[in-house]
Structure 1
């Protein structure tokens, strides 16, 4: 039975199909993404989106879409769909869709009278190249197919208009053409596995609109360039394969290549397989010696905090320890350069976030649980370097206090934590001073490093760390624990922030916690009653007058709502871990219910993946990046924790 299958009734309902999209990627930063109806609904969507290093570090939309037209007895049936000004959809090719499924590759079945046509989309795993396989399953008379490519050649974050700067020239290549609209871009090679007829008919299609950008208050209208169209006959049972990419290919190999790529795909036949496939989509390997994790799609690059939070789940939890080591080994030289105040050039951004090194220690700890000997051999010295760096107060915005053995940071004018929304140049939530998750991570880091020091025979270092961790544990409870039974979110001078936020969950979930079991249960009780939803943990209790359950309004209102009520799936990983830490086998029932609840989202927004955040009240609409590494990684890690107890 198909896990990600959508029937005709759902596909012809644009209110449903336009709000569900499909994503395919390679490991070089390129991707293919569009709604399941085939209509692009944001400027970031298209058949071929890829980095163009010659121009900048951004993604660029090269090929927006391809309209297919089935021709029989001179009658033309266009399978494409675009939205134009005035809420006008033309052509309305979605009405011919009989079914869509995405278990292996995105596959659409069209029926036009007696013609049944299959369309399968494959994104190359190694190249910036898209392949589409068309199979004529049934036809009772001679049939032709016309292919009309819509080109953009622009930044994915920007839009284009008809202009006279376009290079309209093209050249014939094997079974196709190549063209390049603007200087600095690579050529786009459009080829088939059989010879087509190319009709040169350059034109602009004006005022194409992107519905979700319009609804989000973003720029939403552009013109797209069409150089002409390809046309060829197709027989019953025949396959036509279309290839579009930045390299010329041998078209005689397209069929074998498509089949080979199909065999490599893990079917999205279950929730776990969907998460596993999504985890692979974040891998970014710009060259053979560098490995990273992208923060998400469609607009995120490599963000340091996101990478290390996502790393254990996206590698270790799916049985890929070698990938963990490759990514960690790529990052360590850059982290060392940062700690030694040396200039560094890296794809990783935001290395100076004050909590980053604490997350690095946590990620290293997860690897230690998988392979202790390899960790001791490879990463123990780097762990000691991090702790010494923090203890010696060399970080520009992370201060260790000998008096209480805790950490402070300055966040009144700059966002310092993962709650990093900014409004008019200032933090939407100015968390400063002693932050609860910073010091939860810090206590865990001290205890973990103490453990490693003992294992490596460095007992003097272990004793020093034991002394500091003991003081840190007592200071943590004194600083953050309040009479109500939960933890202050941050303490800045005489101010103790009483808002119930999810940042206190780390004091329960981390391997080493300064809290007693009774205190852990009390914290869990607050989180469960006030923050837990089916899509994640709320970022603020509904009891607060600042609580915003829906991501709506002006841009600033959305930024304010971002961490004042939105629900984040990635926090479920630590919630489940904390709950099982406290209740052991008795916590499995709730953990299973949480995973079943979030599984419902696998058929919404980006099908087969999980979004960045959700409204925290019904109907729990998804927002932000529609495939988000932290969400995927932590859900995979949570599932592994559940399975280990079972």
Structure 2
């Protein structure tokens, strides 16, 4: 039985099926995403959405949808579905859906009278190419199938209207056509594994609406261009494959290509496999010799902080050490360019953020724990370069106070931490000075560097790091620990931010903590009581006057809510790590309950993956990016960590 299966009762209920989507990607930044009913509900959705590098740095919706029509004895049954104004859905093809499952690939089974048709959707891992395989499982009379493509050729963040600039021409190619709506775009090749009849009948379908954009207060209505339609007969047990790509393909090998891709897929047979499969979807290989991680879908690119936080979970936690090395090796030249003040290649965005290098060191630390024998030699020089770079205050916005040993940053006018929402060009949460997670990461980095320096018998660096460690251990506690028993979120001059936020969890979760165990337990207790939510750790305590539990309202209200109450799943990784450090094996029951709650999300929002954030009170709706690398990766890392504690003898916290 499929782990992700939706029966007819759920599929014909648009209140349910419209709010669940499916995502398929390649490793070039392209993707396919639509609701499980087949109706696009957002401008970011489509069957072929891809970067067009020579136009800009954004994704572009090329092929929005394909409507299939079953024809028997002259009677037409259109399987497509679009929303139009007045809450009208037409055609209502969802009523023919018998079931939908998403084991290896998304599969929809349609039943139209005596016709039973299977539709499987595959996205090539090597090219910007969508393949759809249709199989006529049963039919009692001659059957014709029609394919009508809906084209957009626009930025994913924008919408299009009927216009006279569109190029209505097309040309015949092997078993299909190619067309291009606007100059500067790549051609779209629509081809089949057998020869179709193409009927040219260009027209605009006007007033198509996207319900989720409409509900979010965003622009939501557009016109889509249809150049015509394809028709062909289909026999019982026959398979027809449609290929939509920016390159012409050899149609004689479409069946073999589909089977090749199918064999590579990880079955979504359980919670872990869904997360593992989802983690693969963030891999981005713009060139054969370079590999990175996208921050998420649908609009994120490669972001430095996200990359290094996600790196251990997306690679080491799924036993892919070689992938860690590929991504780290691809990233190091960019980091060196930044530290040596050379021109940046702009593949990794926001590389100048002040905590990025601290997360790089953390990622290297995770690598060493996983791959102890070879890690010292491979990345030790780079590790020491980073530490010297920070210690000599060469970073433009991360400085070491020689008296306290702590690091500080200026966050008044720019968002410097992961809480990076801005309004009118200013940070919504203007964290500045000594930030608690920056300094927890800094203390951990010093301790890790001292560990490696001692192993490599570098006495000078060992002495330097030890001196800094002793200073930071003392000043961290006196700077951040308050009488209530939790940590200030940031401290600047005489100001101490008393808001209870999740950033203090890193002072407990990291391998090296400047806190005593009683202090660690106190921090854990605060996070558990005030910030723990069903689908993430809240970004602000409900006791705060600024607390906003739901991502709703005007764009300004939603931006304010982003880091003033929304719950973030990625923080579960560090929370579970901290909880197990304090309570050991006895903490597994809470960790298990967290994972059970997150497993329920496998069938919500974008199925089989985890959203960027969630409302922190019921009904805990997924918000932001519908598939987010940090969320998926940190859950994978937590699962592996939990497994390591399962074999540990039962013991108390020793507090």
In which range does the TM-score fall when normalised by the shorter chain? over 0.9
Aligned-pair CA distance for 1:219: 0.9
Question: 1: CA distance between counterparts of 2:145 and 2:211?
Answer: 28
**Alignment partner, residue 311 of structure 1:** 311
Question: 1: CA distance between counterparts of 2:59 and 2:413?
Answer: 31
For residues 111-152 of structure 1, what are the alpha-carbon distances to aligned partners after superposition, in whole Å with 9 as ceiling and x for unaligned?
011111000000001000000000001111111000000001
In the alignment, is residue 331 of structure 1 matched against residue 318 of structure 2? Answer: no
**Alignment partner, residue 393 of structure 2:** 393
**Alignment partner, residue 545 of structure 1:** 545
**Alignment partner, residue 578 of structure 1:** 578
**Alignment partner, residue 432 of structure 2:** 432
Query: After alignment, is 91-100 or 456-465 more displaced?
Result: 456-465
In the alignment, is residue 83 of structure 1 matched against residue 55 of structure 2? Answer: no
SS of 2:135's partner is strand
Question: 2: CA distance between counterparts of 1:209 and 1:553?
Answer: 20
For residues 563-600 of structure 1, what are the alpha-carbon distances to aligned partners after superposition, in whole Å with 9 as ceiling and x for unaligned?
00000000000000000111111111111111111111
For residues 62-84 of structure 1, what are the alpha-carbon distances to aligned partners after superposition, in whole Å with 9 as ceiling and x for unaligned?
10000000000100000000001
**Alignment partner, residue 413 of structure 2:** 413
> Which residues in structure 2 correspond to 1:155-194 (within 5 Å)?
155-194=155-194
SS of 1:485's partner is coil
SS of 2:117's partner is strand
Question: 2: CA distance between counterparts of 1:337 and 1:476?
Answer: 31
Aligned-pair CA distance for 1:176: 0.6
Question: 1: CA distance between counterparts of 2:478 and 2:290?
Answer: 44
**Alignment partner, residue 54 of structure 1:** 54
In the alignment, is residue 125 of structure 1 matched against residue 125 of structure 2? Answer: yes
Question: 1: CA distance between counterparts of 2:344 and 2:430?
Answer: 29
**Alignment partner, residue 466 of structure 2:** 466
In the alignment, is residue 320 of structure 1 matched against residue 320 of structure 2? Answer: yes
Question: 2: CA distance between counterparts of 1:391 and 1:31?
Answer: 42
Aligned-pair CA distance for 1:424: 1.2
**Alignment partner, residue 524 of structure 2:** 524
**Alignment partner, residue 248 of structure 2:** 248
> Which residues in structure 2 correspond to 1:241-280 (within 5 Å)?
241-280=241-280
Question: 2: CA distance between counterparts of 1:498 and 1:95?
Answer: 54
TM-score (norm 1): 0.99
Aligned-pair CA distance for 1:57: 1.5
In the alignment, is residue 422 of structure 1 matched against residue 425 of structure 2? Answer: no
For residues 194-252 of structure 1, what are the alpha-carbon distances to aligned partners after superposition, in whole Å with 9 as ceiling and x for unaligned?
11110000000001111111111111111000000000111111111100101111111
Question: 1: CA distance between counterparts of 2:359 and 2:143?
Answer: 59
For residues 391-424 of structure 1, what are the alpha-carbon distances to aligned partners after superposition, in whole Å with 9 as ceiling and x for unaligned?
1011111110110100111111111100011011
For residues 587-639 of structure 1, what are the alpha-carbon distances to aligned partners after superposition, in whole Å with 9 as ceiling and x for unaligned?
11111111111111111000000000000000000100000000001000000
SS of 2:172's partner is strand
**Alignment partner, residue 42 of structure 2:** 42
SS of 1:111's partner is strand
For residues 54-104 of structure 1, what are the alpha-carbon distances to aligned partners after superposition, in whole Å with 9 as ceiling and x for unaligned?
211111111000000000010000000000111111000000001000011
Aligned-pair CA distance for 1:290: 1.2
For residues 484-543 of structure 1, what are the alpha-carbon distances to aligned partners after superposition, in whole Å with 9 as ceiling and x for unaligned?
110000011111111110000000100000001110000000000100011010001111
Question: 2: CA distance between counterparts of 1:57 and 1:635?
Answer: 29
Question: 1: CA distance between counterparts of 2:434 and 2:283?
Answer: 34
**Alignment partner, residue 354 of structure 1:** 354
CA RMSD of aligned residues (A): 0.7
**Alignment partner, residue 67 of structure 1:** 67
For residues 142-196 of structure 1, what are the alpha-carbon distances to aligned partners after superposition, in whole Å with 9 as ceiling and x for unaligned?
1100000000111111111111111111111111111111111111110111111
Question: 2: CA distance between counterparts of 1:373 and 1:167?
Answer: 60
Question: 1: CA distance between counterparts of 2:466 and 2:386?
Answer: 16
Question: 2: CA distance between counterparts of 1:37 and 1:92?
Answer: 10
Aligned-pair CA distance for 1:5: 0.3
**Alignment partner, residue 5 of structure 1:** 5
Question: 2: CA distance between counterparts of 1:294 and 1:86?
Answer: 37
SS of 1:133's partner is strand
SS of 2:91's partner is strand
TM-score (norm 2): 0.98
Aligned-pair CA distance for 1:371: 1.2
Query: After alignment, is 588-597 or 298-307 more displaced?
Result: 588-597
> Which residues in structure 2 correspond to 1:148-227 (within 5 Å)?
148-227=148-227
**Alignment partner, residue 592 of structure 1:** 592
> Which residues in structure 2 correspond to 1:88-127 (within 5 Å)?
88-127=88-127
In the alignment, is residue 640 of structure 1 matched against residue 606 of structure 2? Answer: no
Question: 1: CA distance between counterparts of 2:563 and 2:44?
Answer: 24
**Alignment partner, residue 230 of structure 1:** 230
In the alignment, is residue 512 of structure 1 matched against residue 512 of structure 2? Answer: yes
Question: 1: CA distance between counterparts of 2:620 and 2:289?
Answer: 41
Aligned-pair CA distance for 1:372: 2.0
Query: After alignment, is 337-346 or 71-80 more displaced?
Result: 337-346
**Alignment partner, residue 652 of structure 2:** none
Question: 1: CA distance between counterparts of 2:424 and 2:460?
Answer: 49
Question: 1: CA distance between counterparts of 2:310 and 2:179?
Answer: 39
Question: 1: CA distance between counterparts of 2:161 and 2:437?
Answer: 47
SS of 2:317's partner is helix
Deviation >2 Å, runs of 4+ = none
Q: Unaligned regions of 5+ residues in structure 2, if any?
A: 647-655
Q: Unaligned regions of 5+ residues in structure 1, if any?
A: none
Aligned-pair CA distance for 1:346: 3.2
Aligned-pair CA distance for 1:373: 2.8
Question: 1: CA distance between counterparts of 2:103 and 2:607?
Answer: 10
Question: 1: CA distance between counterparts of 2:380 and 2:300?
Answer: 31
Question: 1: CA distance between counterparts of 2:436 and 2:24?
Answer: 38
Question: 1: CA distance between counterparts of 2:563 and 2:207?
Answer: 35
> Which residues in structure 2 correspond to 1:137-156 (within 5 Å)?
137-156=137-156
**Alignment partner, residue 455 of structure 1:** 455
SS of 1:365's partner is helix
Aligned-pair CA distance for 1:370: 1.0
**Alignment partner, residue 483 of structure 2:** 483
Question: 1: CA distance between counterparts of 2:51 and 2:561?
Answer: 32
